[in-house]
Amino acid sequence: MELRIGGAKVVLVRGDITEQDAEAIVNAANPSLMGGGGVDGAIHRKGGPKILEECKRIRAMEWPEGLPTGKAVITSGGDLKARYVIHTVGPIWQGGGRGEPGLLREAYLNSLKLAVSRGIRTIAFPSISTGAYGYPIEEASRIALRAIKDFLEVEDGLDEVRLVLFTEGDLKVYEEAAREVLKP
């Protein structure tokens, strides 16, 4: 599925985030920035040790206590096709009453802002927080798409925002959300 918002296209695809040829891919990280499972594990595995070295430097210089939920930082893409990895931390689902929707929105918005500030024109996101962090995907997909739409309506600079869903089922959920949230 492909839609236009402002000067950019929003593309929903099934795939593996680590295989994307976008200029930047987004990592669904945790505050330690030291790797983990899911998307995070796959990115560090395929991207090689350079990414982790840069993450260690960012921890030491900028975020000694860890990257707060909703914030984003950038490293090179190491051995990946993508030139950059933007690491963000989504919220852990705790029932929805602990600020999770706002924090998930911030994770998307801060990643997009960071990309634009670096002159990046194509960015690919995984479905942040809907794996190990347990965020219900129907709600998360709407928040993700609304954040992307709101951003693209006011900011220039991006040519493409891609959402890369790992399963056919997840892609269907995002497509349904896109029909609701992105309809003109």
Residues binding ligand AR6 (CB under 6 A): 16-18, 28-30, 36-40, 42, 90, 126-133, 164, 166, 170
Least Å distance, CB 25 to ligand AR6, is: 9
Tell me whether residue 64 is exposed, middle or buried, using C-beta atoms within 10 angstroms of its C-beta: 0 to 12, 13 to 18, 19 or more: exposed
Least Å distance, CB 130 to ligand AR6, is: 4
Smaller CB separation from ligand AR6, 75 or 130: 130
50 touches 76 (CB < 8 A):
yes
Helices within the chain (DSSP H only) = 38-47, 49-61, 100-117, 137-154, 168-181
- Beta bridge partners, 162, equal 11, 124
Smaller CB separation from ligand AR6, 17 or 67: 17
Smaller CB separation from ligand AR6, 80 or 158: 80
Q: Is 16 a catalytic residue?
A: no
Least Å distance, CB 93 to ligand AR6, is: 9
86 touches 116 (CB < 8 A):
no
SS3 139: helix
Other Cβ atoms less than 10 A from the Cβ of 38: the count is: 18
Smaller CB separation from ligand AR6, 7 or 48: 48
Q: Which one of the listed residues 40, 79, 150, 159 is annotated catalytic?
A: 40
> What six digits make up the tokens of 160?
């493409």
Least Å distance, CB 11 to ligand AR6, is: 14
Q: Which residues are catalytic?
A: 40
